[in-house]
């Protein structure tokens, strides 16, 4: 039980983890204080024959304090969280110039559409690969999420990103990977009997490798289609 | 504590909302009915705002027959009036008035449901069915559940009418009339809202 | 106890007349060639007016005590919260 | 005009003339109905527990032969291996049974029925026959839900939240009739709950005994009253949504269809009901815990008024936080912000309640009877469940932990650590009143400690699973490299869960055996102040020969200048010290 979050590799993962650790410290203190008080009272005031419990109905001052302190604390946490939330999922949060990638979820696979050489989705040179998400490092990527059938959820734990894909809705979610390597994409919303195996490999390339992979793939796909 | 020795006159209204159990219970139950229709009407409003294209361009009147339904609405309003007249008659012990107004209410309630049934039949013949897009789905679900409520009301009202003919209600005790009346007016009220938002808008 | 069961019987026929007129007005308004938003607002206003007449006079809410009136109106804000919150889904 | 205001007549004198069926099966006596609800919901609790054990087997030992798996048909367990489709059924039905058929009836059905009239000094409910109808609707609802396991295609398998389009399209879920049975069952159960809530609310408002003012109501009754209002207003929303879902499934309407309707509308409706539902499941637990802690501490409850206002505050705020279940659903991010703030604020009344319980223990003279142990465990576990809620309320952190085992840990800390400990405590506390006999305290303590330890060993590590990113409702975690490190933890959790389940058998045995062999209980074995302890155990039909009169606030323990350390609500200090002996001591 270490309470440490696994290693994260996206640009905003640090912010999420920081808020997590902040809440961990605050709730940790609250936890220790209340549980210690509980145990202490249970031991100190355990029943003894002949003892009389104090006839107290309350204490307004104490009650005001323990109303105000949690209220201020949670509102502060809320405001801090709000700014991070807006930078990740807010209306205008997607960075300019992010590479668009289409992800079409379907029972039980992820169809990833790459923009091809022109860098734009919806053009002739797009190509689609199943269950493989390749992205360049240090570059913002905006995923255009859609779903074929039921609700799925696009979850890359290492990037700290999760977003439901809802049929009939077009949802954008962005991330910027900071380290090259192999990661995993999972479905986080129960989507049927193959839910548990709806997995895709995520590869973060260097910029050069990404371009190389892109051109190789577009050729292979073009060949297959011919 | 000073009143410890005082005889209690009517304890069950003394500390309550000032109304007898059945009436309070009916009002509480109507609270849940409001929420039930909130789910249906709320979904309708949300779906309509979200998918305006699923409704006919010039509004529901392209499909639905407004004049007949307006008349039907008027019929339901009339039945509400006759219900409240029955209640007024009961509260002064007018047994004949009570019975007549109750029968009028039952008949008008039944007529309302019948007209609705005819309307449904014609719409289905025109090809407008529950699976005909969001318009059909919301229309049949909302008016259908309203019609179900009217039917339940009519059945209860028949029971009340039979009791009225057996002389069970008096000027002193006509709780049953008031309680079923509340339900009946509520159903009327819901229809007033439904008629406007489903047929006219 | 007399005060709690005192019966108020307003002029039901008058209320009925107003309801009938309002229904006719509604049907008329629906076919007017005005802006859609105006008509919707007018119709909703008329419907609320009619609903209030039924609640206040036929259901005797006007003559009930305050706790009961509060009880009857309590669910309405919830309906507004639900509808308004979900509609913002389409407007962002 | 007395007759208009007359209460429902009670044939107090005729109870002995009733036949067995009228007395114990189709009874209109709130005490019998309460006990009927108790037996029914404990049965469903057991069923839900068995489903949980199957889930834990698959999680701890995926791909291994399930012991005794041969009793299941091939469509569920093939060659001893739990199939993925059956696993989805298990997850769905475990949640459904526990929420709708175990915890909710245990709290609202059992204690609402049993305690409300007894604690407010009423001879019965306002509408006894409606009360009977409420129970006899709940039973078929339960059977309809169970029936899902026996139809082709199996039971509902779209999660207890039943998100469409998965829940409404057979091609997607592989479930046919099961999903529809789920809907029908919940509609019937909803009707039962609404009838019950109507009854409770009317009873509390109109049937309180002389002197039982609003601020003399015990907190358990306050909690049950506010809960009933939540049931009354929230359940119809579920009924409406489920009806639309059922129509989508059967007659081809389009409400939640993906292309022509709005799938996300279901989530809004479901959680608009669902969050008040969460408080339906915890408020009565808080109420009974307040009663038990005051009794165990031999002290008046600390800050009675702020406890009441906290209950009311939670009930109000509970209506404006539903969006926090949907932060990652693609909802309007600005709406998400407002839901986050309201969710954060709802932590405050919960904190007030916790500190007030601690304040009640402070300078008390604590008696560690079994109900008190459970009540203290409730406080301690509710602290964890409440604090872990802050993580999910924070939208950025929720991005990561949403739909992971962190959520599973959180709901079990609230619903098991919270509600269920309170239920165990409350059953033990009111058992003597229900059956006239005490539950065995020795086995009660054994059960408590085993449960407390095994429970924490089961659910605390789930937080860690969630932090590793372990998704909930997945059949086999070993398919993911990033979860490869979690297997050991999963095995540990599963073994703890088996111990936890086995420990409950002690409770079952204690419950059954004490019914016949427990020590006879007097009218007031816990030396409590509530009105229910002023009548014999079990109380006669009609509860009291004459309805009691209330003179004091609910928790008058250790009043200075009195020989005994409790003052029943139907007596005043003057009456007791003037030489009138306390009743029922």
Interface pTM (ipTM) of the complex?
0.93
- Give A208: exposed, middle or buried? Use CB within 10 Å, 0-12, 13-18, 19+: exposed
Model confidence band, residue B2 (pLDDT cutoffs 50, 70, 90): very low
pLDDT beyond 60 at B14: no
pLDDT beyond 90 at C74: no
Interface contacts B/C by beta carbons within 8 Å: 126
To the nearest whole number, what is the mean pLDDT of chain D? 92
Name beta bridge partners: A105. Answer: A110, A147
Interface contacts B/D by beta carbons within 8 Å: 150
**CB-CB under 8 Å, D397 with A35:** no
Tell whether D408 lies on the interface with A, counting CB pairs under 8 A: no
**CB-CB under 8 Å, C75 with D233:** yes
Q: For residue D232, give the nearest of B11, B13, B32 by CB distance.
A: B32
Is D20 or A130 the better-scoring residue by pLDDT?
Answer: A130
Q: Which helix (H) or strand (E) holds D381?
A: helix D370-393
Model confidence band, residue C71 (pLDDT cutoffs 50, 70, 90): confident
The per-residue pLDDT for range A45-81, each reduced to its tens digit, is 998 888 889 999 999 999 999 999 999 999 999 999 9
The span from the CA of D533 to the CA of D541, in Å, is 15
The whole-number pLDDT of residue D574 equals: 84
The whole-number pLDDT of residue C82 equals: 93
Q: How close A187 comes to chain D (CA, Å)?
A: 8
Number of neighbouring beta carbons within 10 Å of residue B43: 30
DSSP of D200-246: HHHHHHH-PPTT--GGGS-HHHHHHHHHHHHHHHHHHHHHHHHHHHH
Six-digit token pair at D148? Answer: 């899902």
The per-residue pLDDT for range D219-266, each reduced to its tens digit, is 999 999 999 999 999 999 999 999 999 999 999 999 999 888 999 999
C-beta of residue A29 within 8 angstroms of C-beta of residue D532: no
- Mean pLDDT of all residues in A131-153: 95
- Mean pLDDT of all residues in D492-517: 97
Q: How close D134 comes to chain B (CA, Å)?
A: 14
Q: For residue D332, give the nearest of C78, C82, C92 by CB distance.
A: C92
Say which residues have a Cβ less than 8 Å from residue B82's Cβ, sequence separation at least 6: B101, B102, B104, B105, B108
Q: How close D230 comes to chain C (CA, Å)?
A: 10
A contact residues 95-154, partner D, Cβ 8 Å cutoff: 107, 145, 147, 149-151, 153
**CB-CB under 8 Å, B181 with C87:** no
pLDDT beyond 70 at D6: no
**CB-CB under 8 Å, D262 with B46:** yes
Nearest to D185 by CA among D92, D254, D278, D75: D92
Name beta bridge partners: A203. Answer: A134, A182
- pLDDT above 70 covers a percentage of chain D that reads 96
The whole-number pLDDT of residue D581 equals: 52
Q: For residue C88, give the nearest of D237, D272, D335 by CB distance.
A: D335
The whole-number pLDDT of residue A51 equals: 84
Tell whether C86 lies on the interface with B, counting CB pairs under 8 A: yes
**CB-CB under 8 Å, B131 with D252:** yes
Backbone φ and ψ of D314, nearest 5°: -60, -40
**CB-CB under 8 Å, B24 with D205:** yes
The per-residue pLDDT for range D439-469, each reduced to its tens digit, is 999 999 999 999 999 999 999 999 999 999 9
The whole-number pLDDT of residue B4 equals: 36
DSSP D366: B
pLDDT beyond 70 at D2: no
Tell whether B173 lies on the interface with D, counting CB pairs under 8 A: yes
- Mean pLDDT of all residues in D557-585: 78
Best of B137, B146, B172, B186 to substitute, by most chain D Cβ atoms within 10 angstroms, is B137
C-beta of residue D319 within 8 angstroms of C-beta of residue D275: yes
- Give B154: exposed, middle or buried? Use CB within 10 Å, 0-12, 13-18, 19+: buried
Chain C residues near residue D264 by CB distance under 8 angstroms: 89
The whole-number pLDDT of residue B6 equals: 34
Best of D125, D133, D206 to substitute, by most chain B Cβ atoms within 10 angstroms, is D206
Tell whether D364 lies on the interface with A, counting CB pairs under 8 A: yes
Nearest to A89 by CA among A174, A166, A185, A20: A174
CA dist list (Å): D60 to A6, B16, D55, D233, D472? 22, 55, 9, 40, 14
- pLDDT above 70 covers a percentage of chain B that reads 92
pLDDT beyond 60 at B7: no
**Domains defined for chain A, CATH in brackets:** 13-89 (1.10.287.90), 99-225 (2.60.40.420)
CATH number of D22-577: 1.20.210.10
The span from the CA of C37 to the CA of C44, in Å, is 11
Tell whether C6 lies on the interface with D, counting CB pairs under 8 A: no
Model confidence band, residue A123 (pLDDT cutoffs 50, 70, 90): confident
Chain D residues near residue B25 by CB distance under 8 angstroms: 126-127, 130, 198-199, 202
**CB-CB under 8 Å, D194 with B10:** no
State which residue of chain C sits closest to B29, comparing Cα positions: C72
Full-model pTM: 0.94
The span from the CA of D150 to the CA of B108, in Å, is 46
Domain boundaries, chain D: 22-577
Number of neighbouring beta carbons within 10 Å of residue D506: 17
Model confidence band, residue C66 (pLDDT cutoffs 50, 70, 90): confident
Residue matched to tokens 């109870």? D15
State which residue of chain D sits closest to A56, comparing Cα positions: D300
The whole-number pLDDT of residue C67 equals: 84
State which residue of chain B sits closest to C24, comparing Cα positions: B70
Tell whether D327 lies on the interface with C, counting CB pairs under 8 A: no
Model confidence band, residue C6 (pLDDT cutoffs 50, 70, 90): low
To the nearest whole number, what is the mean pLDDT of chain A? 92
The whole-number pLDDT of residue A224 equals: 72
Best of C2, C19, C27 to substitute, by most chain B Cβ atoms within 10 angstroms, is C27
- Mean pLDDT of all residues in B39-44: 96
C-beta of residue D239 within 8 angstroms of C-beta of residue B36: yes
Chain D residues near residue C75 by CB distance under 8 angstroms: 233
Rg (CA), chain A: 25
Six-digit token pair at D274? Answer: 């669902």
Tell whether B47 lies on the interface with D, counting CB pairs under 8 A: yes
Model confidence band, residue B8 (pLDDT cutoffs 50, 70, 90): very low
D contact residues 179-238, partner B, Cβ 8 Å cutoff: 194, 197-199, 201-202, 205-213, 232-237
- Mean pLDDT of all residues in D349-359: 95
C-beta of residue D138 within 8 angstroms of C-beta of residue D192: yes
The per-residue pLDDT for range D513-562, each reduced to its tens digit, is 999 999 999 999 999 999 999 999 999 989 999 889 999 999 999 999 88
- Mean pLDDT of all residues in D30-46: 96
Q: Give CA D37 to chain center in angstroms.
A: 12
pLDDT beyond 90 at A104: yes
D contact residues 427-446, partner A, Cβ 8 Å cutoff: none
CATH superfamily of B28-200: Cytochrome c oxidase, subunit III, four-helix bundle (1.20.120.80)
Q: What is the edge-to-edge ordering of all strands in the sheet holding A127-130? A: A127-130, A109-114, A99-106, A140-147, A171-176
Model confidence band, residue B95 (pLDDT cutoffs 50, 70, 90): very high
Q: What angle do CA C25, C27, C28 make, to 5 degrees?
A: 60
pLDDT beyond 50 at D79: yes
State which residue of chain D sits closest to C77, comparing Cα positions: D319
Model confidence band, residue A154 (pLDDT cutoffs 50, 70, 90): very high
Chain B residues near residue C64 by CB distance under 8 angstroms: 19
């Amino acid at each position: 039980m270490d309470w440490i979050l696994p290693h994260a590799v996206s640009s905003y993962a640090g912010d999420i983890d920081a808020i997590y650790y902040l809440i961990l410290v605050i709730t940790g203190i609250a936890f220790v204080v209340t549980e210690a008080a509980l145990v202490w009272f249970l031991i100190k005031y355990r029943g003894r024959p002949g003892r009389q419990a104090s006839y107290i109905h309350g204490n307004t001052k104490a009650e005001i304090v323990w109303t105000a302190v949690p209220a201020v604390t949670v509102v502060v946490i809320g405001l801090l969280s709000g700014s991070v939330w807006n930078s990740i999922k807010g209306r205008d949060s997607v960075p300019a110039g992010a590479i668009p990638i289409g992800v079409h979820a379907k029972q039980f696979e992820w169809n990833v559409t790459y923009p091809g050489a022109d860098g734009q989705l919806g053009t002739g040179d797009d190509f689609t690969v199943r269950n493989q998400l390749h992205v360049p490092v240090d570059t913002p990527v905006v995923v255009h999420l859609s779903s074929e059938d039921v609700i799925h959820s696009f979850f890359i734990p290492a990037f700290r990103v999760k977003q439901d894909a809802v049929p009939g809705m077009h949802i954008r979610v962005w991330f910027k990977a900071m380290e090259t390597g192999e990661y995993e994409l999972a479905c986080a919303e129960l989507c049927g009997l193959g839910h548990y195996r709806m997995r895709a490999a995520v590869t973060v390339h260097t910029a050069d490798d990404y371009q190389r992979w892109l051109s190789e793939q577009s050729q292979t796909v073009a060949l297959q289609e011919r | 504590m000073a009143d410890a020795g005082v005889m209690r006159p009517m304890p069950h209204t003394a500390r309550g909302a000032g109304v007898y159990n059945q009436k309070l219970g009916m009002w509480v139950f109507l609270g849940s009915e409001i929420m039930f229709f909130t789910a249906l009407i709320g979904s309708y409003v949300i779906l309509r705002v979200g998918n305006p294209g699923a409704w006919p361009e010039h509004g529901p009147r392209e499909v639905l027959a407004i004049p007949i339904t307006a008349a039907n609405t008027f019929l339901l309003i009339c039945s509400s009036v006759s219900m409240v007249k029955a209640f007024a008659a009961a509260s002064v012990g007018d047994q004949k008035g009570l019975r007549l107004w109750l029968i009028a209410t039952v008949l008008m309630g039944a007529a309302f449901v019948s007209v609705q049934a005819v309307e449904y039949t014609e719409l289905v013949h025109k090809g407008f069915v529950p699976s005909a897009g969001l318009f059909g789905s919301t229309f049949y679900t909302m008016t259908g559940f309203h019609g179900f409520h009217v039917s339940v009301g009519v059945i209860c009202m028949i029971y009340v009418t039979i009791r009225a003919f057996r002389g069970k209600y008096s000027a002193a005790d006509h709780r049953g009339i008031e309680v079923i009346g509340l339900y009946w007016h509520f159903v009327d009220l819901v229809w007033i809202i439904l008629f406007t938002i489903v047929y006219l808008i | 106890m007399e005060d709690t069961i005192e019966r108020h019987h307003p002029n039901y026929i008058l209320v009925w007349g107003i309801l009938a007129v309002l229904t006719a007005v509604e049907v008329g308004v629906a076919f007017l060639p005005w802006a859609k938003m105006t008509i919707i607002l007018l119709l909703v206003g008329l419907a609320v007016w009619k609903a209030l007449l039924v609640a206040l006079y036929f259901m005797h809410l006007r003559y009930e005590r305050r706790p009961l009136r509060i009880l009857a109106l309590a669910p309405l804000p919830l309906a507004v919260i639900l509808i308004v919150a979900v509609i913002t889904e389409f407007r962002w | 005009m007395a007759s208009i205001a007359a209460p429902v007549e009670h044939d107090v004198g005729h109870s002995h003339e009733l036949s067995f069926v009228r007395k114990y099966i189709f009874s209109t006596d709130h005490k019998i109905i309460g006990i009927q609800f108790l037996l029914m919901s404990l049965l469903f609790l057991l069923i839900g527990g068995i489903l949980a054990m199957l889930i834990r087997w698959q999680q701890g030992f995926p791909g291994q032969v399930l012991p005794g798996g041969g009793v299941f048909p091939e469509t569920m367990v093939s060659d001893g291996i739990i199939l993925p489709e059956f696993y989805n059924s298990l997850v769905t039905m475990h949640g459904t049974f526990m929420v709708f058929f175990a915890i909710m009836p245990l709290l609202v059905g059992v204690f609402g029925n049993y305690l409300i009239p007894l604690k407010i000094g009423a001879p019965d409910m306002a509408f006894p026959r409606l009360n009977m109808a409420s129970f006899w609707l709940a039973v078929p609802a339960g059977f309809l839900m169970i029936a899902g396991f026996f139809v082709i295609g199996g039971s509902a398998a779209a999660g207890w939240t039943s998100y469409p389009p998965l829940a409404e399209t057979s091609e997607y879920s592989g479930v046919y009739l099961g999903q529809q049975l789920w809907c029908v069952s919940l509609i019937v159960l909803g009707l039962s709950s609404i009838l019950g809530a109507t009854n409770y609310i009317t009873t509390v408002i109109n049937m309180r005994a002389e002197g039982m003012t609003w601020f003399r109501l015990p907190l358990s009754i306050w909690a049950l009253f506010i809960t009933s209002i939540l049931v009354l207003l929230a359940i119809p929303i579920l009924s409406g949504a489920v009806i639309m879902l059922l129509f989508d499934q059967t007659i081809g309407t389009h409400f939640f269809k993906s292309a022509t309707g709005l799938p996300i509308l279901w989530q809004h409706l479901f959680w608009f009901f669902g969050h008040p539902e969460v408080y339906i499941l915890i408020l009565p637990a808080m109420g009974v815990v307040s009663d038990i802690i005051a009794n165990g501490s031999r002290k008046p409850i600390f800050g009675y008024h702020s406890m009441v206002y906290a209950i009311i505050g939670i009930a109000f705020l509970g209506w404006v936080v539903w969006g926090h279940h949907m932060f990652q659903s693609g909802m309007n991010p600005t709406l998400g912000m407002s839901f986050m703030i309201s969710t954060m604020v709802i932590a405050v009344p919960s904190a007030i309640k916790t500190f007030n319980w601690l304040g009640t223990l402070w300078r008390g003279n604590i008696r560690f009877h079994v109900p008190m142990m459970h009540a203290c465990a409730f406080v301690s576990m509710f602290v964890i469940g409440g604090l872990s809620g802050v993580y999910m309320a924070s939208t950025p952190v929720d991005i990561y932990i949403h739909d992971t085992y962190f959520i599973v840990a959180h709901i079990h800390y609230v619903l098991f650590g919270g509600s269920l400990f309170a239920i165990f405590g409350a059953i033990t506390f009111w058992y003597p009143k229900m059956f006239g006999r005490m539950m065995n305290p020795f086995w009660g303590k054994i059960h408590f400690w085993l449960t407390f330890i095994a429970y924490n060993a089961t659910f605390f590590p789930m937080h860690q699973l969630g932090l590793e990113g372990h998704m909930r409702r997945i059949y086999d975690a070993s398919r993911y490299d990033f979860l490869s490190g979690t297997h050991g933890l999963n095995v540990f959790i599963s073994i703890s869960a088996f111990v936890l389940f086995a420990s409950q058998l002690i409770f079952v045995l204690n419950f059954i055996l004490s019914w016949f062999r427990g020590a006879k209980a007097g009218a007031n074995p816990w030396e409590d102040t509530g009105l229910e302890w002023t009548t014999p155990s079990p109380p006669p039909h009609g509860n009291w020969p004459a309805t009691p009169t209330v003179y004091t606030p609910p928790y008058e323990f250790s009043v200075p200048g009195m020989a005994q350390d409790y003052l029943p609500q139907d007596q005043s200090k003057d009456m007791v010290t003037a030489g009138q002996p306390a009743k029922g001591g």
